[in-house]
Amino acid sequence: MEKLSLLYASTLFSLALEHDAVSEFLDQAVLMRDALSEPECRNMLVHPHIPAAEKREFFKTAFGGHIHEDLLSFLFLAADKNREIFILPALEALTGMIKRHMKKITAKVYFATAPEDRQLASMRDLLSEKLNKEVEISLNVDPSVIGGPYIYADGYYIDWTVKKRLRDLTVQMKEGCRA
């Protein structure tokens, strides 16, 4: 399944480059991915008793005039070939390819409580400077971290949480008791 999704994504990426519409394809792929990820849409996509013609009409109504014709053709092709299950993974892979091409990344940041906007902006600027890429912050609130952030960004993991510090302290205390 992954191979076919990557094939679709690679083809769409090549078309984006060919049409010099990389940024446009990114915005539209995100729009499509988010809309089609909704449970009602996802269920409709993979429903075996909804004919391809009806799915094509849905795509045309939902996205026609809002997305590049190559992206719409991809949706039609998937419906015609009964490969709707590959649409969302292909769109996810496409957005990743385009972001890498544009030197953009999404940093997943976890806090115990939602930080202030200026803190997020400062973190984004610092990460952009260190990674030499444009960074978008995906904020997640996880009360279990107790305090401080942990960050996943471009293959790096940074953990400044109170939870980690307590865990490290526990390990140090256990090692000290054994000595």
Assign residue 7 the CATH number of its domain: 1.10.520.20
Residue where one domain finishes, among candidates 75, 100, 125? 100
Residues 6+ apart with CB under 8 A from 91: 9, 29, 32, 33, 36
If one counts the domains in the chain, the total is: 2
Residue where one domain finishes, among candidates 100, 119, 140? 100
Instruction: Tell whether pTM > 0.75.
Output: no
Examine the pLDDT at 34 and tell me if it is beyond 90: yes
Q: How confident is the model at residue 109 (pLDDT cuts 50, 70, 90)?
A: very high
- Verify that 7 and 92 share a domain, yes or no: yes
Residue where one domain finishes, among candidates 66, 100, 134? 100
Examine the pLDDT at 179 and tell me if it is beyond 70: no
Domain CATH number, residue 129: 3.40.30
- Verify that 131 and 44 share a domain, yes or no: no
- Verify that 11 and 96 share a domain, yes or no: yes
The pair of structure tokens assigned to 118 is 């200026």
Q: Which domain holds residue 139?
A: 104-178
- Verify that 66 and 120 share a domain, yes or no: no
- Verify that 61 and 128 share a domain, yes or no: no
Q: From CA 69, how far away is CA 53, in angstroms rounded?
A: 17
Once rounded to an integer, what is the mean pLDDT over residues 85-99? 94
- Verify that 94 and 16 share a domain, yes or no: yes
Which conformational region is residue 44 in: left (phi greater than 0), alpha (psi within -120 to 50 degrees), or beta? alpha
- Single-letter amino acid code for the residue at 45: L
- Verify that 90 and 127 share a domain, yes or no: no
Examine the pLDDT at 125 and tell me if it is beyond 90: yes
- Verify that 88 and 108 share a domain, yes or no: no
